[in-house]
Amino acid sequence: MLHIEQNHPSAVSPARKEPTYSMIHLEPAEVLSLFRAAKARGAREWAMCVLAYKHGMRASEICNLRLDDVDLRNCSIVVERLKGSLRTTQALSEHRGEPLLNELKALREWLRQRRDDGSDFLFTSQKGGRLDRSQVFRLFRAIASEAGLPPEKQHPHALKHSLASHLVSANVNLALVKQQLGHKSIGSTMRYVKTSDQQASKATTCALIKIY
């Protein structure tokens, strides 16, 4: 029988796992701190972060946005989802209650500053051409750090999880949450639903009072 010495490479303990960013979300105050830091960096960064949050977009989906996907006149944006998710056309809004969430203003500011380098991608790098996913990750990490967010929240996908969690917490109809996130299956949306027995009992009581 083969005996492995303790110092043999095969006997080394499993490598330390990288931190996982699954389902980690930001609190509303953290979202605003992030947007504030992004805006201080520039219109491009502000627009990227606001769009990623309000439309539940992945970093790659932000990178893939083209100029033609944004219609400022009709206040709409086409989101081409990845990983089998839905392609959706969603509204762009000013969000008058909180200026930092004004995606129309953020986009207009960025498009005024955006250098015409012949690229048809919405977000371009300082050297010109499409901004790639790794650049978005580095930018987001720097902005999140400046906003004082902990390391586990310094990941762009946290914005998608944040939108989902905030909408569910606000009791938005799950079918509408599903559509905004571009989920094909309601099961993907249900991952964000966390309820207690007390909440279920209270909701049942209120519903029955309305019915009877």
Residue-wise pLDDT tens digits, 24-38: 899 999 999 999 999
Q: How confident is residue 81, by pLDDT bands cut at 50, 70 and 90? A: confident
pLDDT at residue 27 in the model: 93
Of 50 and 184, the one with more pLDDT: 50
Whole-model pTM above 0.85?
A: no
Residue-wise pLDDT tens digits, 86-117: 888 999 999 888 999 999 999 999 999 999 98
CA distance 144 to 139: 9
Residue-wise pLDDT tens digits, 115-140: 998 999 999 998 888 999 999 999 99
- Among the listed residues 115, 138, 119, the one whose alpha carbon sits nearest the alpha carbon of residue 45: 138
Strand order in the sheet with 70-71: 70-71, 76-79, 88-91
Q: Domain spanning 28-211 has what CATH number?
A: 1.10.443.10
Q: How far is CA 97 from the centre of its chain?
A: 20
**Chain mean pLDDT for the chain:** 86
Of 170 and 75, the one with more pLDDT: 75
Q: How confident is residue 196, by pLDDT bands cut at 50, 70 and 90? A: low
3-class DSSP state of 155: coil
